[in-house]
Structure 1
């Protein structure tokens, strides 16, 4: 493993994994981000409540006829469109989508972090197939002011979105390069001393957006009995999430006496 690769042991309840732990700093940078509103979740022993009117107000203020919703920690884990796509600015639609989001993530054991993240719906539809999510994207790894690397490693890999692209999008796909998101990643690295995976997605206008950061640590997956990276497993490429794992973790994994509710 490259000696410069930093490593943190953590879990999904770690407050650094919450959207609002980095959003106030990210939104102040000269980096394109989706318009966003944070909506608290109120939880008691019987139910989780949210402010539907606050979501409607956000959509109305911005003239949005659709929106994306996730929790402070993650989007819908199983059925993304059912649990994260608000397809119409109506209270019953919003409540149905948010309920699906919380149910899906709850069944998977994901914490919600105490809030919803509601965002403009950006057009990433490069493919005719409705269930495909094909779009150029790249993840940079930053630490203490430096950009360590990225995956995929080349713009050619980023262009490989789908063979069924719309004809009018072909020039946009052919012009993909990673210089613009790298410039944005360098700005983010300069403001964040922590270790992060920084995601960028290109929309159908050719604009790169930074939708989120992912805390770049590892947790012990009890079911699979191996370490997983908080940023996902990625490609077997230098500086990918896989390569940031460390053999030095051998012997430090939790034993059966540890709290079983923890993710690692």
Structure 2
């Protein structure tokens, strides 16, 4: 059994979708990041960077200290689950590394840059024109990179659906908040709309969705963006 410690965010949904796609049995534990659950000692023991998601696999590899196998960082979790099930990460070396490079593209560019776009367009206490323009323009550039690739192949890493798509799709669900018009990126739109209809994806994006509040209050913003985030835990 896999225990998933997560929240209804793009990074959380990556793992929710992967678990639904693979059919692995799991139990989800909500980590309310607006309330500060990510700073509890129990969660920090499995995710020292205080970020969701993290997993504990009671049937995972043996650890040196004899504890249950745990893993943090959503990209690492996707690779682990792909290797555990033999799905969504090709065995062929060329296809495997094509998948991993687009997964790293998501981890290094799509996630961080679109996350900053969300912050300055939606959550910042006051509008900062330079930051809004800088990250909105970068979001458009990244959508352009995906659009060019998806004009050549059905999915990001080729003609098969992989963990690269599972990682990137949740971030494109909030395209409006990123200042994006999907009609400007027809290949991304085709890809996005196709993945959005997959039964496992429909189930995955509903995990913990009812628990998350759509708008954060001042306390939640302080926890996520203020002194609490930067205090030693």
**TM-score range for the pair, normalised by the shorter chain length:** under 0.3
- Determine which structure has greater relative contact order: mean sequence separation of CA pairs < 8 Å that are 6+ residues apart, divided by chain length: 2
Q: Which has a greater percent of strand?
A: 1
Q: Which has a greater percent of helix?
A: 2
Larger Rg: 1
